[in-house]
Structure 1
Amino acid sequence: MFVNTLILGAGAAGLMAAAHAGPDVLVIDHAKAPGEKIRISGGGRCNFTNMYCDPNSFLSGNPHFAKSALARYTQWDFIELVDRHGIAWHEKTLGQLFCDGKSTQIVDMLLKEMEKTGARLWLRTKIKDIRHAEGRFVTRVEKEGQEVEITSQNLILATGGKSIPKMGATGIAYDIARQFGHDVTEVRPALVPLTFGDRFVPLAGVATNTLVSNDKASFPEAMLFTHRGLSGPSILQISSYWHEGEEIVVNLLPEVDLPTLLREKRQTDGKRALTVELAAHLPARLVSFIGQEIDLKGNIADLSDSRIDQLTDALTAWRLKPTGSEGYRTAEVTLGGVSTTGIDSKSLMSKHLPGLYVIGEAVDVTGWLGGYNFQWAWASGVAAGRDIQSRATG
C-alpha cells in the first residue's frame, strides 16, 4: 500500500504531526492505545504545556536548535487549541498547566484533529524493517499477524526515547536514524530520581522546599526523600544536568537567612534549643536525621559566630554525591537523541535524506520538568507536518 506520509509513533509528537501533515497520513504504533505517555502524565491530568516556555528551558547539543519550532508554534497556540475543544484547565506552580479533568481529553482532542484531515491510525502494529529506494520509504510491518508493506513519500520518526520501557519505549528511533546516516548523541535518563543506597531510608516520605544546584543549574522546588534516595521536582530537574560521580548541593533553607536568624534568636530567645528552632523551618524527622551527622545539641545562646557559620554551611550547602539514578524505568524523558546537526531546525527534516523527519523526544532536545517536553512535542510535530504540506502544494 502507498501513503504520502507514514508516522512511526502515536505519542504526543506523532499525533500532532498527523493533524498537520495534510491528506493521506498513516500513524502506526505497537501499543494498544494512542498517547499512553499523555494518559499517565501529570498524575492523570496531563501537564500539557508551560506558560513560561522558552528555548532557555531546553537542553541540547545545539541550544539554538529548538528556537524556530517553538517560536512558530507557542504554548499560547496550544492553549487556544485546548480552549477550542472546550477542555477546562488550571495553572499550578511555575506556569504548569493541567487539565481539570482527565488527561485522556488531550488524546481525544488530538485524535479529533487527526480525523479532520483523514489521517488513519493503526495500533498493535510492529515495525519489521525499513528501507529507502527510488526516493521513497518502504516499511514492512506486522499487523494482526499479517505482514504489510507500506510505501511512503515521507517518514516521520516519532517513537520517542528510552524512558519508561514498561510502556514499550525502545531506542528504535536511534537505530532508524543511524541507518539513514544520522548521528546519535549520548543518551541517558533525565528528569529522574537520584539514588543514594539506603542512606535516606529513615526519611522516606519526608518532603521539604529546597534549592538544589550544581555548577550548571539551580532549581528552587520541593525535594522528597525516598527509600532509594531523593526525588521531587528539584531533584528531577537537576538530574538532567548531573553526571555520575558528580555532587549536587542542597540548600535546605532557601527562604531563610539562617545566620541572621540565629544571631537574632541568640539575643531574644537564647534558651531555646537549636533543634526546636530548626524544626520550626524543617520537618522534625529531617532535623533529627541531620543531628546524627552534625552536632545540633544545646541552646541557641551557646552558638558562637563561627559555629553559626558552620551550621549555615551544613544546612544551606549540603553536598551530596548520588550513587546513580533510578534509570529509564522511572525517567520522564531521555536526554540526548538524534543529533541536531543533521536536522533542519525549521522543518525537522533530515538535511541529507528528503522526506525523513525526526520529532519529539527522539531528537536531542530535552525540556525542563513542567510541560516543556510536551510543548516541544507539539511544536516539532507541527513544524514537520506543515513542512510536508508545504512541499506537497509546491
Structure 2
Amino acid sequence: MNVDAIIIGGGACGLMCAVQAGMLGKRVIILEKSEKPGKKILISGGGRCNYTNIYIEGDEYISNNPNFLKSAFKQWTVEDTIQFFETYGLTGEEKTLGQLFPTNKNAKDVVKIFTQLCDELGQDIICNAHIIEVKNLDNGFEVIYNAGIKEEKLKAPKLVIATGGLPISKMGATDYALKFATKLGLKIQPTAPALVPLTITGKDADWYAKLSGNSVFCRVSNDKISFEEQILFTHWGLSGPAILQISSYWRPGEYINLDFLPDRSIQEIIENERINNGKWLLSTLLNKFFTKKFTESIGLYLPLEKQLANLNKDDIEKIQRTIHHFKVKPAGDKGYDKAEVMRGGIDTAELSSKTLECKTAPGLYFGGECLDVTGWLGGYNFQWAWASGYVIAQNL
C-alpha cells in the first residue's frame, strides 16, 4: 500500500492524527490491537466521554518537563477541540470544574465522528492487528503484523506510536510503546498508575470499610497540592474525584490530609452554635454537615455525646484536628486496571516539542499517553491526546 504513515494505536491520539493527516491529503493506516478503535474513549466518563476541559492552562499536567506541552497546546487549543467536534455535530455542556461532556450524545458518538471521517478521507483502520516486528529502513519503516491468518507487511516513510499507557489491560492496553522506546535506547521516566483509587490496610481498614458508599465533599492535600471535590469511602479504602486527583501526586509511604469542612472552621461553628444551642450534642451539630453514618464513624475519635456548652479546650482542639486535619496513610493503589491513566512514560527530552518527532530516529513520532505527560481528571488527558495527534499529523 502506498501510504504516508503507519499509525500503531487506534485510540484518541491515533484517530485524531489519522483524521488530521487525511485533511491535509496524506494517506495513513491505523493498526489497532483491539477488535474496534477507541475502546478507552468508549468507557471514559462512564460512557459519556469528558472530551476536554475549558479551564486548561497547562499547569494541570505532571511531567519531568512541564514546558514541553506549550508548543502542542498553542498549535491545538481547547477552542480547536470544541470547534472540531461542533463542526461534526457534537456540542458540549460544562459540568463540574470546566469538564465538557457531549450534549445529548455520548462516547459512541465521539468515536463515530472519527471512524466516519477516516472512512470519508480514505484512512484505513485495521483492527485485531498484533504487531510482530518493526524495522527501521533507510527510507522509512516496515511493520510486520498479524490481523488474521497470516503475517502482513506495511511500509511507509513515517511511523507513529500512539498505543497509550498501561491502564486498562482489558481495554487492550499494553507496554508496547515503552518496550519499543527502550529498544531504541530512549529514556523512560518511571511509570505508575495515576488517577487511581487508594487502598487502606491494617488496623484502620475496618473503619473505612464500614463507611463504604458514603461520599463527602472534602479538601484532599499533601505537601505538593490540594483538590476540593468529593471523596468516596469504599470497602478497600478511598476513591472519588479528589482521591483520584491526589493519587497522581502521592507516593507510597506518604500521608495525605483530609479536610471534611473546607472553607469553614468547625471551631467557629461550635462557638457560634453554643451561644443559642449550648445543649445540643456534638453529634447533633455534625449531623447538619454529614450523614448520620459518617458522624457515627468519626465519633470514634470525638466526644459525640457531649453538649456544645460543655466542650473544653482539649475537646475543641481534637474536633478541629479530626475534621480539618484527618491524616491518612494509604497502603497502596488499586493498580493499572482501576487507573484512569499512567504516570511517567517516554521522556519528553527524546522528542521535538514542536513536532513530537523522535530526535534520534527521523520519521518516528510518539503521541498521547505513552509520553511522560499526565493530566488531571476531567478532560485534560483527552486534550493532550487530541493536541499531540494534531501536531504529529502536521509533520507527516
State the TM-score, normalized to the length of structure 1: 0.96
Work out which of the residue numbers 225, 232, 257 in structure 2 matches 1:217. Answer: 225
The alpha carbon displacement at 1:189 in A equals 0.2
In the TM superposition, what is the alpha-carbon distance from 1:58 to its structure 2 partner?
A: 0.4
SS in 2 for 1:253: coil
Question: How far off is 1:116 after superposition?
Answer: 4.1
How far is the alpha carbon of 1:297 from its aligned partner? 2.7
Q: Does the 8 Å contact 1:23/1:117 carry over to 2? A: no
2:11–2:39 CA contact under 8 A, matched in 1: yes
Asked if 1:79 is matched to 2:74, the reply is no
1:238 counterpart letter in structure 2? I
CA displacement at 1:264 relative to structure 2: 1.2
Could you tell me which residue of structure 1 aligns to residue 173 of structure 2? 169
The answer to whether the 8 Å contact 2:226/2:246 transfers is yes
Structure 2 equivalent of residue 361 of structure 1:
369
Unaligned stretches of 5+ residues in structure 1: 389-394
* 1:290 maps to which of 298, 305, 313: 298
Aligned amino acid, residue 162 of structure 2: A
The one-letter code matched in structure 2 to 1:164 is I
Counterpart for residue 239 of structure 1: 247
Q: CA deviation at 1:2?
A: 4.7
- Kept in 1, the 8 Å contact 2:282–2:303? The answer is no
Q: What SS does the corresponding residue of 2:74 show, helix, strand or coil?
A: helix
Counterparts of 1:204 and 1:50, CA distance in 2? 30
Q: Is the contact between residue 82 and residue 91 of structure 2 (CA under 8 Å) also seen in structure 1?
A: no
Letter in 2 for 1:163: P
Pairing of 1:100-249 with structure 2 (within 5 A): 100-197=104-201, 198-199=205-206, 200-249=208-257
Q: Mean Cα displacement is larger for which, 217-226 or 262-271?
A: 262-271
Structure 1 letter corresponding to 2:155: T
Q: Write the distance in 1 (CA, Å) between the matches of 2:27 and 2:90.
A: 28
| Shift of residue 115, structure 1, vs aligned partner | 3.2
**Aligned match of 1:345:** 353
- In 1, Cα distance between equivalents of 2:248 and 2:66: 14
User: Does 359-368 or 250-259 show the bigger shift?
Assistant: 250-259
> Which residue is 1:8 aligned to?
8
CA–CA distance in structure 2, aligned partners of residues 18 and 163 of structure 1: 23
Q: Does 1:301 align with 2:305?
A: no
Query: Alignment partner of 2:261: what SS?
Result: coil
Paired with 1:2 and 1:83, the residues of 2 have a C-alpha distance of 32
Query: Secondary structure at the residue paired with 1:65?
Result: helix
CA contact (8 A) 1:54 1:70 kept: no
Distance in 2, matches of 1:240 and 1:351, equals 28
Q: Which is further off, 60-69 or 190-199? A: 190-199
- The Cα RMSD (Å) is 1.2
Residue 332 (structure 2) aligns with: 324
1:320 is matched by which residue type in structure 2? V
Q: How many residues end up aligned between the 2 structures?
A: 388
For the residues of structure 2 that align with 1:113 and 1:301, how far apart are their CA atoms? 69
Conservation of the 8 A alpha-carbon contact between 1:23 and 1:118 = no
Query: Cα deviations across residues 248-303 of structure 1 (Å, max 9, x unaligned)?
Result: 00001114221111111122210001011011111211111111233333111111
Which amino acid is 1:72 matched to? Q
Distance in 2 separating the partners of 1:176 and 1:2: 24
Residue 134 of structure 1 aligns with an amino acid whose one-letter code is D
